[in-house]
Amino acid sequence: MSVGHLGQASYTTDGGQTWRVRNMPGGYTGYLYSVVWVTPNILLAGGTDGKSFCSTNTGYNWYQFRPGGNVVIWEWACFGATCYGAGNGSTFAISYDQGATWGRVFTPGADLLGLSFLNVSTGWVAGSGGAIMRTGDGGQSWTLQPTGAYDTTFYDIDMLNASEGWAVGGVNDRQGRIYRTGNGGASWTRVNSPNTSFIWEVDAVDSGHAWAVTHDGKISPTAGRWATPHTHADPLPSGTVTVTPTPTATATPTETPTPIETATPTETATPTETPTATPTATPTETPTPETYYYWLPWLIHNGGLPNQH
């Protein structure tokens, strides 16, 4: 499953050879920044305008909900029935029933743009103002970790284990920044990077290898140090995209006073070309990631880029 521009989600059932496009309900044309599989059938996607979406049939139909009020959920993590969402406005959203209902925990003053959980209890979030925080109780309480990166906005964090991890982002949405920890976040050290553009995502493979994706369409591997970025001319796997007609979805309950808002999905299957936009410096003003951002996990787990070994 891949999500991105114009409220579109694409899914494949043949390892990426062909893709089918689905539109979010209600004529939504905003940006979708995150998607996660909760079960083999249930998915969650987070987008702009405080709107998130859920599918209970592997992405064929979607309905809208608001897990954290009017905030963008930038990243998800799920363990069984428990799901977490990192959002702006210092919002950490929690569900204990596969995303059906949600509650919120407010973290110490930062927009949360990335998260990384090792299990249902232990995890980290990262965001604006160089903030990185750790929880050991499933998000009920948080400890701010020292980074010294007050001018940096962290867009993603990936903890390989309880000790080792990376956090990536940028300064003024221009200068790429990479930080690394080897002691569970007790201290973070800046790592030299050849990237001049800010960095959207990082994915660690092992203690000495990780991949980072930049806003200007470059993917940087590291093998002990960060290598020269590789410009990938065709960021998507080869194949075809098939547009599937969208049936009218059945009605769902209207909004209730609980933290979860439901809506009636009516989908439209009219894909349009994907524009490339430049993000603003403020996370709450909806930066616009390049398409490659959503493909990093696909690339990592399907052998990486050609000629990179």
Average pLDDT over residues 141-153: 95
% helix / strand / coil in the chain, to the nearest 5? 5, 40, 55
Whichever domain contains 126, its CATH number is 2.120.10.30
Q: What is the pLDDT of residues 198-232, one digit of tens each?
A: 899 999 888 888 888 888 766 666 655 554 444 44
Whether the pLDDT of residue 181 is over 90: the answer is yes
Mean pLDDT of 50-73: 90
**Beta carbons of 308 and 230 less than 8 angstroms apart:** yes
> Distance (Å, rounded) from C-alpha 25 to C-alpha 23?
6
User: Which residues face 217 on adjacent strands?
Assistant: none
Where b means 16+ CB within 10 Å and e means fewer, 1-40 reads bbbbbbbbbbbbeeebeebbbbbbbbebbbbbbbbbebee
> Which two three-digit tokens encode residue 139?
């998000």
Pull the structure tokens for residue 240.
């075809």
Residue 204 falls inside a structural domain: yes
Q: Could you give the CA distance from residue 249 to residue 150 in angstroms, rounded to a whole number?
A: 46
> What's the chain's average pLDDT?
77
Q: Is residue 245 part of a domain?
A: no
Task: List residues bridging with 164 in a β-sheet.
Answer: none
Overall number of domains in the chain: 1
Q: Is residue 8 part of a domain?
A: no
Question: Does residue 286 register a pLDDT over 60?
Answer: no
Spatial CA neighbour of 273 closest among 2, 1, 4: 4
Has residue 158 been placed in a domain?
yes
pLDDT at 222: 66
The DSSP element (H or E) to which 298 belongs, if any, is helix 296-300
The answer to the question of residue 164 being in a domain is: yes
In a domain, 289, yes or no: yes
Q: Are strands 240-243 and 18-23 parallel, antiparallel or unpaired?
A: parallel
Query: What are the tens digits of pLDDT across the range 258-281?
Result: 343 433 443 434 444 444 443 433
pLDDT of the residue at 283: 41
Query: Residue 210: helix, strand or coil by DSSP?
Result: strand
Q: Measured between alpha carbons, how far is 61 from 248 in angstroms, rounded to an integer?
A: 9
Q: What share of the chain in percent tops pLDDT 90?
A: 52
- φ and ψ of 247, to 5 deg: -75, 160
Output the CA–CA distances (angstroms, integers) from residue 187 to 134, 148, 200, in the order listed: 12, 9, 22
Give the model confidence (pLDDT) of 165-180 as tens digits.
999 999 976 788 999 9
Least confident of 14-18, 95-99, 244-248: 244-248
Contact between 219 and 232 (Cβ < 8 Å): yes
CA-based end-to-end distance of the chain: 26
Q: Which residues contact 170 (CB under 8 A, 6 or more apart)?
A: 152, 153, 155, 176, 177, 197, 198, 199, 215
Residue 52 confidence class, pLDDT cut points 50, 70, 90: very high
Question: Does residue 10 sit within a domain?
Answer: no
With respect to residue 229, please indicate whether it lies within any of the assigned structural domains.
yes
- For residue 249, CA distances in Å to 1, 64, 294 come to 20, 12, 27
Task: Identify the domain containing residue 195 by its residue range.
Answer: 107-237+284-309
Query: What pTM did the predictor assign?
Result: 0.72
> What pLDDT sits at residue 235?
41
Q: Please give the structure tokens belonging to residue 86.
A: 């990192």
